[in-house]
């Protein structure tokens, strides 16, 4: 299993968590509360946790292709949902 995690500093963590889950829920299974979210893409899974000033995201996939794809999809959508912020998304892979 391939895993990676990132913690993004933003005062809009809850807003972005909800936006990501709501957006992905149109095509795949996604659930969320104000502080936690989960998305099952089929090729990978994503868990999110929001605090007052951070959005922590953990992803995992069985394949290299799914792993790269989920990193791209989450990063790309998060940046699109936050055009006025200079978010830093630095994936830390787990071994």
2-33 per-position pLDDT tens digit: 999 999 999 999 999 999 999 999 999 999 99
β-strands 29-32, 45-50 pairing: unpaired
pLDDT in tens, 26-81: 999 999 999 999 999 999 999 999 999 999 999 999 999 999 999 999 999 999 99
> What Cα–Cα distance (Å) separates residue 2 from each residue in 21, 52, 61?
21, 28, 5
CATH code of the domain in which 66 resides: 3.30.310.50
Alpha helices of the chain — where are they, by DSSP H? 13-24, 64-81
**What domain count does the chain have?**
1
Give me the domain span that covers residue 43.
2-94
> What Cα–Cα distance (Å) separates residue 81 from each residue in 18, 36, 75, 95?
11, 18, 10, 30
Confidence (pTM)? 0.96
Residue 38 is encoded by which pair of tokens?
């989960």
């Amino acid at each position: 299993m391939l895993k990676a995690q990132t913690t993004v500093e933003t005062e809009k963590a809850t807003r972005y968590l909800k936006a990501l889950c709501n957006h992905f829920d149109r095509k795949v299974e996604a659930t969320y509360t104000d502080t936690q979210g989960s998305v099952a893409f089929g090729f990978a899974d994503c868990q999110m946790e929001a605090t007052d000033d951070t959005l922590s995201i953990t992803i995992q996939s069985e394949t290299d292709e799914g792993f790269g794809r989920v990193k791209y999809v989450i990063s790309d959508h998060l940046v699109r949902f936050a055009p006025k912020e200079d978010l830093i998304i630095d994936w830390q892979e787990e071994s």
